[in-house]
Amino acid sequence: MLISIPPKYAVSDVVGFVKGKSAIAIARNYLGKRNLRGQNFWARGYLVSTVGKAEATIREYIRNQEKEDKRLDQLQMFK
C-alpha cells in the first residue's frame, strides 16, 4: 500500500490506524468475525520512505511481503 501522510501526523499512528481499522472491517465483512483478538491479519512490519526513495523499490517490497510471510510461517512449524 502506498500512501502519502502529511507531516502533522505521526507515521506510526497512521499505519496503526490503517492496519487496525482495515483488519476489523475485513474480518467483519468477509470472515463473519467480530473480533480478531490473538490473531494476526497484517504483516508485522511496514516500510516508510521519503520522496527521495524510488517508487519501484517500494513496489518491490510490497510484492515480496507475501513471500516473506510464508517463509516466516514455515519457520514457525519447527518451534
- 11 neighbors 5 (Cβ within 8 angstroms): yes
6-22 mean pLDDT: 90
pLDDT for 50: 72
Which residue pairs, CB below 8 angstroms and at least 24 apart, start in 14-22?
Answer: 15/46, 15/48, 19/46
In the chain, % helix, strand, coil (3-state, to 5) comes to 55, 0, 45
pLDDT for 79: 62
- The catalytic site residues sit at 61
Res 76 pLDDT > 80:
no
Res 46 pLDDT > 70:
yes
When mean pLDDT is compared over 1-5, 12-16, 47-51, 55-59, the highest value belongs to 12-16
